[in-house]
Structure 1
Amino acid sequence: MAQAALKSKLEADVEIQASPQQFHHTFVSYKLRDVQHTCSDKIQGVDLQQGEWGKVGSIINWTYVHEGETKVAKDVIEAMDPDKHLITFRMIEGDLLKEHKSISLSFQASPMSGGSGSIVHLTLEYERLHDGIAHPESLQQFLVDLTKDIDAHLPQPN
């Protein structure tokens, strides 16, 4: 029973101006490398270690600043659905795995009803190593802010 309580999910919806295609394309193309230039206060490096940009099974190394500290992560692209503008990353190495058994993150962009722009649905699924570890709400906020920063650097609809 206690084990189940260690598995949790945080979700958030972020309104952006970009189309679902534009936002999704950032994550599935070599443009992901540009995130470090557009969000340098948060992302310091994005490197493809293995595979191809946007392909399931590819491995990406991240260097990022969270809660004032430089951290690293190695993620595998676990799932991708271009029709649904969905990409899921699963962390396989990194600082967050010192306190978590598993972490996965999904971004799914959908058209906003009744207008231009999109809603990006963020899903952060994780399993803490024990009850003494806080839920990663600050990581969720980091991802919300990152989504907004990426949007601010994408071409806006006319």
Structure 2
Amino acid sequence: MGLKGKLVSQTELKGCKDLFHEMFRHKPHHLPNVAPNSIKAVDLHEGDWGTVGSVVNWNYTLVDGKEEAVKVVVDDINEEKRLVTFKACEGHLTEQYKAFKATVHIENEGENNLVLWTIEYEKQNEDVPEPFYYLQLAVNLTKDVDAHHVNQ
């Protein structure tokens, strides 16, 4: 296998696409209340919520129960596509991956809204595993946020 790769997930959204996008753009610090099994804390380190270039610390639990932390830069925001891209700049991910970027965006497919997570990465070496746990974390987070909005 190569050192560079891309993983993609697609999950149907039952709730409001605008509320979902708003959570990841402007209110990620609310995620520990919405998805406490996955997200432990999201803190603004530098800049302003919802702006490109802001730096955010994420503390989370992977599906295997392992707790980790990462500092990310908000790399891109596109309101029309309801897209936010986070690029890892410090933490456990940067120990294993030379590059790690996660993008969440919403696509319309007929009457349905689909949340797409794309993880682009470059491993430090061949011994580093593919980041399947991180993709599963994103899918679980999507389901928790969607359920939160549907139940309100």
Q: Where do 5+ consecutive residues of structure 1 fail to align?
A: none
Q: State, as a whole percentage, how many aligned pairs show the same letter.
A: 32
Structure 1 residue matching 2:41: 3-state secondary structure? strand
State the partner residue of 2:134: 139
Runs of 4+ in 1 over 4 A off after TM superposition: none
- The answer (yes or no) to whether the contact 2:56–2:71 under 8 Å persists in 1 is yes
1:22 matches 2:34: no
Size of the aligned set, in residue pairs, is 151
Q: Where do 5+ consecutive residues of structure 2 fail to align?
A: none
- The answer (yes or no) to whether the contact 1:19–1:111 under 8 Å persists in 2 is no
- The answer (yes or no) to whether the contact 1:20–1:110 under 8 Å persists in 2 is no
2:39 and 2:21 map into 1 onto residues whose CA distance is 18
**Which structure's CA Rg is the greater one?**
1
Structure 2 residue matching 1:47: 3-state secondary structure? strand
TM-score (norm 1): 0.90
2:111 and 2:80 map into 1 onto residues whose CA distance is 20
Structure 2 residue matching 1:151: 3-state secondary structure? helix
- The answer (yes or no) to whether the contact 2:16–2:149 under 8 Å persists in 1 is no
1:103 and 1:56 map into 2 onto residues whose CA distance is 17
State the partner residue of 2:77: 80
State the partner residue of 2:100: 103
What CA RMSD, in Å, does the superposition of the two structures yield over aligned residues? 1.6
